[in-house]
Amino acid sequence: MPAIEIRNFSKNYGDIQAVKSINLTIREGELFGLIGPDGAGKTTLMRSICTLLVPDSGSILVDDMDVTNHVAEIRSILGYMPQRFSLYQDLSAEQNLQFFADIFSVPLEEREKRLKELYHFSRLEPFKKRTAGALSGGMKQKLALSCALIHTPNILVLDEPTFGVDPVSRQEFWEILHSIKKEGKTIFVSTAYMDEADQCDRVALMSSGKIVNCDTPDKLKESFKFLLYKLEGDNLRRINEFFKSLPNILNTQLFGDSIHVNFKQNPSEDEWEHWKKETNQVLTNWQRITPSIEDIFLNVEEKTE
Amino acid sequence: MNEAITVKTNQLTRRFGKFVAVDQVSIEVYQKEIFGFLGANGAGKTTMIRMLCGLLKPSDGNGTVAGLDIKTQSEIIKQNIGYMSQKFSLYEDLTISENIEFYGGVYGLSREKIEQKKDELFKQLRLNEYAKKYTRDLPLGIRQRLALGSALLHDPPIIFLDEPTSGVDPKARRGFWDLIYQTAESGKTVFVTTHYMDEAEYCHRISIMQQGKLIALDSPAHLREKYQKKSMQDVFISLVKTEVGGN
């Protein structure tokens, strides 16, 4: 039985079709990533899974229960971490956890043990008396995750949990997700960081209310049909401008200290040498590379426009 | 760099009770420079920016922004800087156009000047097609462009961007950085914080803060070379982890 089964699900806001008849199956125990541009419908989909929105058509089953008529049952087995804030800023970390434990009626005798476990993985115990508002960004997100886990749900829905989190805390947060997965829990997580998507068992790419691609990160990369090169040099913006204007090019993207260029046809070594000269030697290195999830994201985008 | 210095601090320090949020930080930032400000959550970046914007008095040390003393001339500084916070609240129930008019009014610009700046900014930030839309109906990436526009309305020589691309998708982030480049090329100093390490590479120089102290300051290429790392992500993780471990 799948953890989450989405069939022909649509959701509209007035005239706006936020989600357009999508199908998606999340397996039990899967770490499943959802990526897509702002406004693609990701949050609408997540809120619907969490019984917070009612489908206009189609259905969503969570643990084989329909979101329209099993609201209480679903909420008891599901942990949801919303996109922005979910904590009470003027309550302490511990008070926040107790509050969520109250809401989900976690029995008192179980609470101690649960809090201990959550403090253990989040390493928040030394900060439990601090108000949530005074915690750093990374700690806030760990506390919000802990609150979503307080009632020991089997399925977790996390909407951009690493929003505004620094690289070190982000790494730590994902180590926690991997350990939760090992306990057998299903995790459905959206993110704007493509390196995080790469750590998922499967990834769905959503755009304009539709799922445009869904597979394992490796399969997604294999299906990438463009000729991708990584270029390095001394003045990347200039190199980028130069390659953008060439006819044999689909697109170019800046990638930090390099540029990724998609060619229509594989260029010859002579061509490379020629380009090196034309850019006054600022182009220093080029090599064919396999795409990252970010390349896939950027190129799906191109198609839909 | 041959450009003029626009921001300069000398041993700048800010304490909250016993807690030292910013600890003797000295920097010099130039005109036309994109200056990246990195650090873990809680490292002191926002406190530093608030002092430079004249929103918070330093406990010790001193500094100038656009040649103005941050201790004694904070009111004039506010007219000479633009500030865009990640939490910066645009009015969600106003249209894009109305938001610009509102902020123009706040900055004391005349009606004519507001109209002129609005035309200019809409063109530069590619916002024309959204002018009449309500801010709440627009994706985050577009709202961030509007927030940048609002911060540039009074034509400040220095602009502070606090995590302008957090949560913004990869394509919109690249679009936003094109605008950051344009802004710097037009002669402004851009101070920017980010948690995306590919964006750190786009800065002319990077500073990394850890527990209130400045622990690194150089160009991304020099930092990679100095710490023998392939990427800024690796530089950041190695530096910040080492520092935490050293406590």
Q: What are the DSSP calls for chain A, one per residue?
A: --SEEEEEEEEEETTEEEEEEEEEEEPTT-EEEEE--TTSSHHHHHHHHTTSS--SEEEEEETTEETTT-HHHHHHHEEEE-SS--S-TTSBHHHHHHHHHHHTT--HHHHHHHHHHHHHHHT-GGGTTSBGGGS-HHHHHHHHHHHHHTT--SEEEEESTTTT--HHHHHHHHHHHHHHHHTT-EEEEE-S-HHHHTTSSEEEEEETTEEEEEE-HHHHHHT--SEEEEEEES-HHHHHHHHHT-TTEEEEEEETTEEEEEESSPPPHHHHHHHHHHTTT-EEEEEE-PPPHHHHHHHHHHHH-
Q: What is the pLDDT of residues B227-237, one digit of tens each?
A: 999 999 999 99
Give contacts of A38 with chain B, Cβ < 8 Å. 139-142, 168-169, 172
A138: which strand partners?
none
Short-list B139, B185, B147, B183, CA closest to B164 = B147
A33 and A142 share a domain?
yes
Residue of A nearest to B224 (CA): A257
Contact B174 A137 (CB under 8 A): no
Residue A296 lies in a domain: no
Residue from the list A39, A166, A294 with its beta carbon closest to the beta carbon of B41 = A166
A79 and A132 share a domain?
yes
Average pLDDT value for residue range B233-242:
86
Q: In what order do the strands lie in the sheet with A258-263?
A: A249-255, A258-263, A227-233, A283-288
Residue of B nearest to A164 (CA): B166
A55 and A153 share a domain?
yes
Structural domain range at position A142: 4-221
Q: What is the pLDDT of residues A7-43, one digit of tens each?
A: 999 999 998 899 999 999 999 999 999 999 888 999 9
Q: What is the pLDDT of residues B161-201, one digit of tens each?
A: 999 998 888 988 998 999 999 999 999 999 999 999 999 99
Q: How far apart are CA B230 and CA A255, in angstroms?
A: 13
Q: Which of A173, A202, A221 is the last residue of a domain?
A: A221
User: Is residue A5 scored above 90 in pLDDT?
Assistant: yes
Sequence ranges of the domains in chain B: 5-87+157-245
Give contacts of A83 with chain B, Cβ < 8 Å. 167
Mutation pick from B34, B182, B195, B225 vs chain A, by most beta carbons of A within 10 Å, is: B195
A234 and A255 share a domain?
yes
Give contacts of A169 with chain B, Cβ < 8 Å. 40-41
Q: What pairing do the DSSP bridges indicate for beta strands A186-190 and A155-159?
A: parallel
Contact B195 A164 (CB under 8 A): yes
A187 and A274 share a domain?
no
Q: How far apart are CA B19 and CA A304, in angstroms?
A: 51
Q: Give the DSSP letter of residue B95.
A: B
Q: What are phi and psi of B106, to 5 degrees?
A: -60, -40
A116 and A234 share a domain?
no
HSE, CB side, 13 Å, CA atoms: give it for residue A4.
Answer: 30
Q: Which of A221, A245, A275 is the last residue of a domain?
A: A221
Query: Strand, helix or coil at B48?
Result: helix
Give contacts of B40 with chain A, Cβ < 8 Å. 136, 138, 166, 168-169
Q: How far apart are CA B166 and CA A66, in angstroms?
A: 34
Residue from the list A138, A192, A237 with its beta carbon closest to the beta carbon of B167 = A192
Residue A294 lies in a domain: no
Going from the C-alpha of B138 to that of each of A25, A60, A199, A207, B133, the distances in angstroms are: 30, 27, 30, 15, 8
Q: Give the DSSP letter of residue B196.
A: -
A252 and A126 share a domain?
no
Q: What is the pLDDT of residues A36-60, one digit of tens each?
A: 988 899 999 999 999 999 999 999 9
Contact A166 B233 (CB under 8 A): no
A26 and A88 share a domain?
yes
- Reported ipTM: 0.81
Contact B163 A168 (CB under 8 A): no
Give contacts of A237 with chain B, Cβ < 8 Å. 181
Total domains present in chain A = 2
A118 and A167 share a domain?
yes
pTM of the shown model = 0.87
Instruction: Name every residue in B having a CB less than 8 A away from some CB of A.
Output: 39-43, 86, 138-142, 163, 166-172, 174, 177, 181, 195-202, 220-221, 224, 231-233, 236-237, 240-241, 244
User: Is residue B247 scored above 50 in pLDDT?
Assistant: no
Give contacts of A36 with chain B, Cβ < 8 Å. 169
Mutation pick from A123, A160, A168, A295 vs chain B, by most beta carbons of B within 10 Å, is: A168
Give contacts of B244 with chain A, Cβ < 8 Å. 168
Q: What is the pLDDT of residues A58-71, one digit of tens each?
A: 999 999 999 999 99
Q: What is the pLDDT of residues B122-175, one digit of tens each?
A: 988 888 989 899 988 888 888 888 999 999 999 999 999 999 998 888 988 998
- Residue A280 backbone zone (phi > 0: left; psi -120 to 50: alpha; other: beta): left
Asked if the C-beta of A206 comes within 8 angstroms of chain B's C-beta atoms, the answer is no
A72 and A172 share a domain?
yes
Residue A295 lies in a domain: no
Residues in chain B: 247
User: Is residue A240 scored above 80 in pLDDT?
Assistant: yes
A62 Cβ partners below 8 Å, 6+ apart? A3, A4, A49, A51, A70, A74, A77, A78, A155
Give contacts of B199 with chain A, Cβ < 8 Å. 256
Residue A55 lies in a domain: yes
User: Is residue B117 scored above 50 in pLDDT?
Assistant: yes
Residue of B nearest to A207 (CA): B169
Asked if the C-beta of A171 comes within 8 angstroms of chain B's C-beta atoms, the answer is yes
Going from the C-alpha of B47 to that of each of A127, A300, B12, B162, the distances in angstroms are: 21, 40, 11, 11
The mean pLDDT value of chain B amounts to 90
Residue from the list A164, A166, A193 with its beta carbon closest to the beta carbon of B86 = A164
User: Which amino acid is it at B151?
Assistant: A
Closest Cα in chain A, distance from residue B67 (Å) = 31
CB pairs under 8 A between A and B: 94
B54 Cβ partners below 8 Å, 6+ apart? B65, B70, B73, B74, B75, B77, B78, B81
Q: How far apart are CA B239 and CA B200, in angstroms?
A: 15
Residue A299 lies in a domain: no
Give contacts of B231 with chain A, Cβ < 8 Å. 256-257
A102 and A153 share a domain?
yes
pLDDT at position A301: 54
CATH number for the domain spanning A278: value is 3.30.70.100
Give the model's confidence band at B87: pLDDT under 50 very low, under 70 low, under 90 confident, else very high.
Answer: low
User: Is residue A84 scored above 80 in pLDDT?
Assistant: no
Closest Cα in chain A, distance from residue B121 (Å) = 22
CATH number for the domain spanning A208: value is 3.40.50.300
pLDDT at position A305: 40
Contact B41 A254 (CB under 8 A): no
A200 and A263 share a domain?
no
Tokens of A78: 């599901």
Residue A13 lies in a domain: yes
Short-list B199, B166, B235, B144, CA closest to A168 = B235
Q: What CATH architecture applies to the domain B5-87+157-245?
A: 3-Layer(aba) Sandwich (3.40)
